[in-house]
Structure 1
């Protein structure tokens, strides 16, 4: 299993669960949580170099690139014509692509092509936290069980913990999901 498949460190989960970091069940739980998160945010989260996207113009001065942080912008084409950074456009690490010189992006579909590098070399802590939380739940909560009694002790799991949709999970997904280019 490639290390970049996991969005959290197996050693951290291993300490919490009292298992070895290479325990197949532990690794499976982390892999499933990582896949689920990536699926819900609609991008890899990790660093992606020279990703090419085609965007709709919004008729405004600025538009958002779909995934942040933006590390580099290698090329911007408007209707197939290459624009020059610094005179035609500028960009920010927040993923804002701004037209310069009193220009606006055209209000047309699929007229802008951008090649850019985005994502994180190191997974942000809020993502790591929810991946570890979800993996722990998958590892320890039996599927479909909300309440379990053994002897004189009982334990009840919240439906959101069993399903993996805690408030922290929802906030992390909302913060890191792909954005629509017209949002700027």
Structure 2
């Protein structure tokens, strides 16, 4: 999650006294999911294993970034045979998520390279803007869970200017810097 329950309670300024930590956590998890869906990758630092198509070139672009560690790189042949590679002997890696082959090129077929890596941002390194977006989404989800913009009751109609958990154009622009690679 990109914000804490305490931060959400502070933003709600006593308006959440009846909400349990579990309810607020669920709102923050949902808001975090909206952000992750927009950028195409989780922003939180985590170890993951990805299988990527070979590039046939000396460099291979990983879908997750920034990369903080690469634990394993394995070539997978067309017949499924696996060949582990050695860091600094067979390849190097960069924080930008680029694997560079030191001897030759990467294979040129689908699902050719399996990489176990740690990528993402430490909680303290995530931009304040991401936290602010997460909190705004959680508050919007609490106040308008269905995302409705109006309600008709008998002869009267009420319109709200509070969308549900939807990102604004400005928030999408802010999050674009964290987007995963295709």
- Fold shared, TM-score > 0.5 on shorter chain: yes
Q: 2 CA distance for matches of 1:77 and 1:22?
A: 51
Deviation at 1:165, TM superposition (A): 2.0
* Residue among 1, 18, 28 paired with 1:30: 28
- More displaced, 58-67 or 108-117? 58-67
CA RMSD of aligned residues (A): 3.0
Q: 2 CA distance for matches of 1:33 and 1:112?
A: 33
* Residue among 131, 150, 161 paired with 1:157: 161
Quick check: 1:82 aligned with 2:84?
yes
Tell me the residue number matched to 1:151: none
Q: Is the 8 A contact 1:73 1:115 kept in 2?
A: yes
SS of 1:115's equivalent? strand
Q: Which runs of 5+ in 2 are unaligned?
A: 77-81, 152-157
Deviation at 1:68, TM superposition (A): 1.3
Q: Which runs of 5+ in 1 are unaligned?
A: 1-5, 148-153
The within-5 A match list for 1:123-142 is 124-125=126-127, 126-141=129-144
Which runs of 4 or more aligned residues in structure 1 lie more than 6 Å from their structure 2 counterparts after TM superposition? Answer: none
Quick check: 1:71 aligned with 2:68?
yes
* Post-superposition CA distance 1:73-98 (Å, at most 9, x none): 11112232222222321111121111
Tell me the residue number matched to 2:52: 55
Q: 1 CA distance for matches of 2:172 and 2:17?
A: 27
SS of 1:68's equivalent? coil
What is the number of residues matched between the two proteins?
Answer: 166
Shift in CA distance, 130/107, structure 1 to aligned 2, threshold 3 Å: same
* Post-superposition CA distance 1:106-161 (Å, at most 9, x none): 221111111112223316123212111211222234731269xxxxxx98527xx4
Q: Is the 8 A contact 1:72 1:117 kept in 2?
A: yes
- More displaced, 10-19 or 167-176? 167-176
Q: Tell me the TM-score normalised to structure 1 length.
A: 0.73
Tell me the residue number matched to 2:172: 170
